Protein backbone atom coordinates (compact mmCIF):
# COMPACT_ATOMS: atom_id res chain seq x y z
CA UNK A 1 0.00 0.00 0.00
CA UNK A 2 1.26 3.47 -0.86
CA UNK A 3 1.16 6.21 1.76
CA UNK A 4 0.13 9.66 0.60
CA UNK A 5 0.76 12.92 2.32
CA UNK A 6 -2.17 15.28 1.93
CA UNK A 7 -2.00 18.76 3.36
CA UNK A 8 -4.68 19.79 5.80
CA UNK A 9 -7.28 22.45 5.14
CA UNK A 10 -5.78 25.64 3.68
CA UNK A 11 -8.28 27.94 5.42
CA UNK A 12 -8.03 30.15 2.33
CA UNK A 13 -10.44 30.08 -0.60
CA UNK A 14 -8.59 29.08 -3.78
CA UNK A 15 -10.97 31.16 -5.91
CA UNK A 16 -11.16 34.40 -3.92
CA UNK A 17 -8.06 34.30 -1.70
CA UNK A 18 -10.25 35.18 1.29
CA UNK A 19 -9.73 33.51 4.66
CA UNK A 20 -12.12 30.69 5.58
CA UNK A 21 -13.14 31.38 9.19
CA UNK A 22 -14.63 29.03 11.80
CA UNK A 23 -18.27 28.40 10.96
CA UNK A 24 -17.84 29.16 7.23
CA UNK A 25 -19.14 26.54 4.81
CA UNK A 26 -16.55 25.34 2.32
CA UNK A 27 -16.05 22.80 -0.47
CA UNK A 28 -12.86 20.85 -0.93
CA UNK A 29 -11.40 18.81 -3.76
CA UNK A 30 -8.61 16.27 -3.98
CA UNK A 31 -6.67 16.06 -7.23
CA UNK A 32 -3.42 14.51 -8.35
CA UNK A 33 -0.61 16.69 -9.68
CA UNK A 34 2.87 15.44 -10.54
CA UNK A 35 2.25 12.23 -8.58
CA UNK A 36 1.15 14.10 -5.45
CA UNK A 37 -2.33 14.46 -4.00
CA UNK A 38 -3.35 18.09 -3.70
CA UNK A 39 -6.20 19.40 -1.57
CA UNK A 40 -7.89 22.63 -2.65
CA UNK A 41 -10.50 24.45 -0.54
CA UNK A 42 -13.13 26.97 -1.68
CA UNK A 43 -15.70 29.13 0.06
CA UNK A 44 -19.06 27.43 -0.58
CA UNK A 45 -20.33 30.40 -2.61
CA UNK A 46 -17.17 30.40 -4.77
CA UNK A 47 -17.15 26.64 -5.50
CA UNK A 48 -16.80 26.18 -9.26
CA UNK A 49 -17.63 22.47 -9.04
CA UNK A 50 -15.18 19.62 -8.96
CA UNK A 51 -12.08 20.14 -11.08
CA UNK A 52 -11.47 17.79 -14.02
CA UNK A 53 -9.97 14.53 -12.80
CA UNK A 54 -10.96 15.12 -9.16
CA UNK A 55 -10.38 12.03 -7.06
CA UNK A 56 -12.78 13.24 -4.37
CA UNK A 57 -14.71 16.32 -3.35
CA UNK A 58 -16.82 17.24 -0.35
CA UNK A 59 -18.36 20.07 1.59
CA UNK A 60 -18.20 20.98 5.24
CA UNK A 61 -17.98 23.71 7.81
CA UNK A 62 -14.69 25.12 9.10
CA UNK A 63 -14.38 24.01 12.74
CA UNK A 64 -13.34 26.31 15.56
CA UNK A 65 -9.62 26.19 16.47
CA UNK A 66 -8.85 22.93 18.23
CA UNK A 67 -12.29 21.51 17.48
CA UNK A 68 -12.44 18.29 15.52
CA UNK A 69 -15.08 18.21 12.78
CA UNK A 70 -18.26 16.57 14.04
CA UNK A 71 -19.80 13.71 12.16
CA UNK A 72 -23.56 13.63 12.37
CA UNK A 73 -24.96 10.74 14.40
CA UNK A 74 -26.71 8.80 11.68
CA UNK A 75 -29.31 6.23 12.57
CA UNK A 76 -29.17 3.70 9.72
CA UNK A 77 -32.53 2.18 10.61
CA UNK A 78 -34.29 5.55 10.52
CA UNK A 79 -32.64 6.39 7.21
CA UNK A 80 -33.66 2.98 5.82
CA UNK A 81 -37.23 3.54 7.00
CA UNK A 82 -37.39 6.88 5.13
CA UNK A 83 -35.85 5.22 2.07
CA UNK A 84 -38.48 2.44 2.15
CA UNK A 85 -41.37 4.87 2.61
CA UNK A 86 -40.40 6.60 -0.64
CA UNK A 87 -40.33 3.34 -2.64
CA UNK A 88 -43.30 4.23 -4.87
CA UNK A 89 -42.81 7.97 -5.10
CA UNK A 90 -42.83 9.68 -8.48
CA UNK A 91 -42.31 13.20 -7.06
CA UNK A 92 -38.94 14.78 -7.87
CA UNK A 93 -38.24 15.67 -4.22
CA UNK A 94 -39.01 12.11 -3.14
CA UNK A 95 -36.81 10.60 -5.87
CA UNK A 96 -33.97 12.95 -4.90
CA UNK A 97 -34.34 12.17 -1.19
CA UNK A 98 -34.46 8.40 -1.84
CA UNK A 99 -31.40 8.51 -4.11
CA UNK A 100 -29.31 10.48 -1.59
CA UNK A 101 -30.51 8.19 1.23
CA UNK A 102 -29.30 5.21 -0.84
CA UNK A 103 -25.90 6.90 -1.32
CA UNK A 104 -25.64 7.56 2.42
CA UNK A 105 -26.60 3.95 3.20
CA UNK A 106 -23.93 2.76 0.76
CA UNK A 107 -21.37 5.04 2.39
CA UNK A 108 -22.35 3.57 5.77
CA UNK A 109 -21.96 0.07 4.27
CA UNK A 110 -25.58 -0.79 4.99
CA UNK A 111 -26.20 -1.06 1.22
CA UNK A 112 -23.86 -2.77 -1.19
CA UNK A 113 -23.76 -1.76 -4.83
CA UNK A 114 -24.88 -4.67 -7.03
CA UNK A 115 -25.35 -3.25 -10.51
CA UNK A 116 -26.59 -0.37 -12.64
CA UNK A 117 -29.29 -0.71 -15.27
CA UNK A 118 -31.94 1.22 -17.20
CA UNK A 119 -35.61 1.00 -16.43
CA UNK A 120 -38.41 0.79 -18.98
CA UNK A 121 -38.50 4.61 -19.13
CA UNK A 122 -34.81 4.81 -20.07
CA UNK A 123 -33.70 6.14 -16.67
CA UNK A 124 -30.52 4.97 -14.94
CA UNK A 125 -31.19 2.79 -11.90
CA UNK A 126 -28.84 1.74 -9.10
CA UNK A 127 -29.35 -1.78 -7.85
CA UNK A 128 -28.28 -2.12 -4.21
CA UNK A 129 -28.55 -4.92 -1.67
CA UNK A 130 -29.21 -4.46 2.04
CA UNK A 131 -26.14 -5.92 3.77
CA UNK A 132 -28.22 -7.04 6.75
CA UNK A 133 -31.49 -8.29 5.32
CA UNK A 134 -30.41 -9.08 1.77
CA UNK A 135 -33.30 -7.16 0.21
CA UNK A 136 -32.57 -5.81 -3.27
CA UNK A 137 -33.60 -2.24 -4.05
CA UNK A 138 -33.84 -0.43 -7.38
CA UNK A 139 -33.12 3.29 -6.99
CA UNK A 140 -33.80 5.75 -9.81
CA UNK A 141 -30.87 8.09 -10.46
CA UNK A 142 -32.40 11.58 -10.73
CA UNK A 143 -29.18 12.88 -12.34
CA UNK A 144 -28.45 15.46 -9.67
CA UNK A 145 -25.47 17.76 -9.88
CA UNK A 146 -22.92 17.59 -7.09
CA UNK A 147 -24.34 20.77 -5.61
CA UNK A 148 -27.87 19.35 -5.71
CA UNK A 149 -26.69 16.15 -3.99
CA UNK A 150 -25.09 18.25 -1.24
CA UNK A 151 -28.30 20.29 -0.89
CA UNK A 152 -30.46 17.16 -0.69
CA UNK A 153 -28.06 15.59 1.81
CA UNK A 154 -28.32 18.68 4.02
CA UNK A 155 -32.12 18.43 3.69
CA UNK A 156 -32.03 14.74 4.63
CA UNK A 157 -29.93 15.60 7.69
CA UNK A 158 -32.25 18.49 8.60
CA UNK A 159 -35.42 16.44 8.17
CA UNK A 160 -34.02 13.63 10.28
CA UNK A 161 -32.66 16.02 12.92
CA UNK A 162 -28.98 15.31 12.24
CA UNK A 163 -27.85 18.83 11.39
User: pLDDT (tens digit, 9 = 90+) per residue, 105-143?
Assistant: 999 999 999 999 999 989 999 999 999 989 999 999 999
Are residues 97 and 153 part of one domain?
yes
Which residues form the domain of 112? 76-159
Are residues 141 and 117 part of one domain?
yes
Is the pLDDT score of 148 beyond 80? yes
pLDDT per position as a tens digit, 8-49 = 677 899 999 999 999 899 998 878 777 677 889 999 999 999
Tell me how far the alpha carbon of residue 26 is from its chain's centroid.
Answer: 14
Sheet containing 136-140, strands listed edge to edge, beginning at the edge strand earlier in sequence: 111-118, 124-130, 136-140
pLDDT per position as a tens digit, 78-100 = 888 889 888 888 878 888 889 99
Is the pLDDT score of 156 beyond 80? no
Is the pLDDT score of 5 beyond 70? no
User: What is the pTM assigned to this prediction?
Assistant: 0.56
Which of 70, 94, 109 is the last residue before a domain boundary? 70
From CA 118, how far away is CA 140, in angstroms rounded? 9
Nearest to 32 by CA among 5, 9, 8: 5
Are residues 82 and 155 part of one domain?
yes
Domain count, the chain: 2
Which of 53, 70, 87 is the last residue before a domain boundary? 70
Which of 49, 70, 91 is the last residue before a domain boundary? 70
From CA 7, how far away is CA 43, in angstroms rounded? 17
Are residues 139 and 93 part of one domain?
yes
From CA 124, how far away is CA 33, in angstroms rounded? 33
Amino acid sequence: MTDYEIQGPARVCAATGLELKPGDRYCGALTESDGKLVRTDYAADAWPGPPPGALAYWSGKVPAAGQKPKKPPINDDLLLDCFDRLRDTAAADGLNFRYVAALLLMRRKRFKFEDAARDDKGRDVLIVRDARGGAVHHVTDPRLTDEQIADVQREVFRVLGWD
